[in-house]
Structure formats: C-alpha cells, structure tokens
Homo-oligomer: A and B are copies of this chain.
Amino acid sequence: MTATDAHARTTDAALRARAAAVIPGGMYGHQSAAGLPAAFPQFMARGAGARVWDVDGREYVDLMCSYGPVILGHHHPKVEAAAEAQRQEADCQNAPSPRMVELAEALTATVAHADWAMFAKNGTDATTLALMIARAATGRRKILAARGSYHGSAPWCTPRPGGVTPEDRANMGYFTYNDLASAQQAAGAAAGDLAGVIVTPFRHDIGQDQELADPEFARGLRALCDRTGAALILDDVRCGFRLHLGSSWEPLGVAPDLSAWSKAIANGYALAAVLGGEAFRHAATKVFTTGSFWFSAVSMAAGLATLAALDEEGAVATMTARGLALRDGLAEQAARYELAIRQTGPPQMPWLRFVGDRDYTLANTFAGEAARRGAFLHPRHNWFVSAATTQADLDMVLDATGHAFAAVRRQVDGL
C-alpha cells in the first residue's frame, strides 16, 4: 500500500489487522484483496444502484457487481421491497413457503429447457447436484469439463490443489473449451461410463482472454451427449440472466438437459437452482440433497422480484448497451494512449487485457489507478455491468479509466 493509500484507509487497515488475527490469511476465497493492487479496499460498507462505498467512505462505480450477483444494481427497490415483505412473514421455517412454488413456476416459464427446478444456496451446490442427477440418470460415473473452467470450490472442482485428493477427481475427464475434437476424445476415453458434460456458456477463465462459445462447439457437445446418452449440463452460475433470460445458450439454439444457476438470480440474495428437462425429472428424485436454508423464503421472494424486474426493465438490453458504450470508450482511450489492448467477452461481462502483459503488471496498474479514481474493476477476473448503470456512471468510469490508461502509459514509457 502506498503512503497515500494507507492514509486514506484508516478503517480498512484497522479491520485488516483485526481480520489477520481471527481469519486464516486475513481473508480467503474470491473476495480476498490480498492479490489485488493496494488501492483496493478489503471491506465494503454499502451500495446503491451502480455505486458502492468502502468502509472509509470512498465511492466507486461498481463494475464487479459483487462478482456477479448484483444484476439490477444494489438495493433495487422492488427486490428489496419483496424481500422485506417476505421477511416480515417468514424466512426459514419447518417447510417451504408458497414462494418456492411460484419461483419454480416462474423459472420454468422463463428458461426454455426447464420443466422443473430445485433450489440450493451456492453455485457449487447447483453444479454438484447437476453432476449427481446426471449420474443418477445414467448409472454412469464420468463427467467431462473444460480444463481451467471454474465450476465451484468443492473438492471435485476447486482450482487449487490444497485439501483435494486424487479420488475426488477420479471420475473427471477434461477437454479444451471450443475444441470439439478434444471433447470427443475425452468422451471416447470415458466410453460406456459417460454420465455428463458440464460447460460454461462462454470461456471466462481467470486472467485469460474471454472466448465466446463457437456455435459448432455447442451444437457438437449437444450431439455428443445425444449420441452417448450423457447429460449436457450448462453451468450458467456466472452468466445466468446476463446474456438471455431463457438461458445463455438459448441464442445458439442449444438446449442443455440440466443447468446450474446462482449469483444473479435473486440480485444478491443467497440462492442457487438446478433446472432440468422432463427426461431428468425422475433421476432428480433419486438424489438426496438438502440444506438447512435451501427452503428459506426471503431469497425466493427476491428471486421472483428479480425475474420480474429483469423482464420489465429490459435488463439484458440495457446491460448490453452500457457494456458496448464502455467498450467503445475504453477502445478510444487505449488508442489515444497508444496502448494495445484486447477487450473480450460479451459486453455485459467485459474484460480487458494489455497485449503482452503476461504477469499482469499493467493490469494491476490499470485496475489500481481505476480504483483510486472511482471505478471498481478487476485486473484478472471478468467484470460485470449491471442494469442500473447510467450514463453518469459510465462517464465516471471513463474518467477513471482515462487516468488509468495514462498511468499505464507512464509505466510502459518508464520501462
């Protein structure tokens, strides 16, 4: 942390010191600021619309959306009103509330391939349950996934080896995203024992250029699953409702058998879902899965309000438009500073990389300076544009990124 950062970060620094005593490593998981530039806060205070404030009162335009959950903006009035009304009645009870049925109806009416829904709390719950249903349906064991794709942090999928045994992944096979031949080869290796293929709607591996799904790849996986009797599982946890309300591969015309959802489906309230087609309904009844809070009503009320608002507000179109405007602005700025960048991913979930910046030195300078100037974006993880983003928010972002590109230019010139 620079002296300036430290000076302005009294509360954050004090909290970090206290956290170091009672939380291993001071923080863990995707919200640890340990790997971020010093300008980033470790602790946040509040949010409203597309703006967030850290514990020292600094304001940012939010381009991370809590790493995905906040799709309509923070404190969306209709979502909060629905959640608060439900909280007055009940949340965690001896049995679910009517909200569960209403939400299952709303999701199956919205998502083209879905005939039924099951709910949980984490994205990892949803991906893991989808695997279990695929295995229960087929009586087989092997699951294929793209090498490097993030599907959660259970032992079968967490991206780091600590605490993981070889047996946890004994039934996993791997292919390369957008390389259908590699998936066919992996399916061949699992011949006769292939239960399913799990895949993200596009390639959003951390620190890499994002890569949209090749429609031929998506259709090829569908055909592979049809031919082998395996389940095609779309992991829509990160992208769900940002690309298309009918599921992220609906624009490609590819219907999965099962899909995993979480993050944005209740605008920040803790909720996950597995959706599936008729052919997998019976298998879903064979898996015993549950959680103490999986039937809680408040997050489901929030989910219902989120779904309604996404539709009413034309949220996908708004996120797309704002994301395209951001992309254009960033391209113009990078050109002005004669910096070679690559902007990848759909406009609603953008990311930029400096060409040749292999150790993220320039990315850290960029993100750090952007944070100092009031734009909260990430040097290695894809960003998220919420539907609450206004032109004023975009102007503030581009003012910040203008300074950030200038800082990168100075760094490049100084090398």
Q: Give chain A's interface residues, CB within 8 Å of chain B.
A: 11, 15, 18-19, 21-25, 27-31, 33, 40-47, 52, 54-55, 62, 64, 66-70, 74, 80, 83-84, 87, 89-98, 100-101, 104-105, 108, 115-118, 120-125, 128, 131-136, 141, 153-156, 158-160, 162-165, 167-168, 170-171, 237, 262-263, 268-270, 276, 281-296, 299, 376
Say yes or no: B55 contacts A108, CB within 8 Å: no
A97–B45 alpha-carbon span in the complex (Å): 6
Pairs A-B, 6 closest by C-beta atoms: A29-B290, A132-B163, A162-B286, A270-B293, A24-B284, A92-B268
A282–B28 alpha-carbon span in the complex (Å): 12
Say yes or no: B288 contacts A94, CB within 8 Å: no
* Residues of chain B lying within 8 A (CB to CB) of residue A80: 87
Least Cβ–Cβ distance between A258 and chain B, in angstroms: 11
Tell me how many chains of this kind the complex includes.
2
- Nearest B residue to A297, CB-CB: B44
A118–B167 alpha-carbon span in the complex (Å): 25
- Nearest B residue to A80, CB-CB: B87
Say yes or no: B171 contacts A165, CB within 8 Å: yes
Least Cβ–Cβ distance between A9 and chain B, in angstroms: 13
Say yes or no: B22 contacts A122, CB within 8 Å: no
Say yes or no: B31 contacts A94, CB within 8 Å: yes
Say yes or no: B42 contacts A95, CB within 8 Å: yes
Say yes or no: A28 contacts B67, CB within 8 Å: no
Say yes or no: A92 contacts B64, CB within 8 Å: no
From the candidates B43, B124, B283, name the one contacting A291 in the complex (CB within 8 A): B124
- Nearest B residue to A86, CB-CB: B46
* Residues of chain B lying within 8 A (CB to CB) of residue A104: 19, 22-23
Say yes or no: B167 contacts A141, CB within 8 Å: yes
Say yes or no: A70 contacts B90, CB within 8 Å: no
* Residues of chain B lying within 8 A (CB to CB) of residue A87: 80, 83-84
A54–B94 alpha-carbon span in the complex (Å): 9
A125–B120 alpha-carbon span in the complex (Å): 12
A376–B94 alpha-carbon span in the complex (Å): 9
* Residues of chain B lying within 8 A (CB to CB) of residue A295: 29, 31
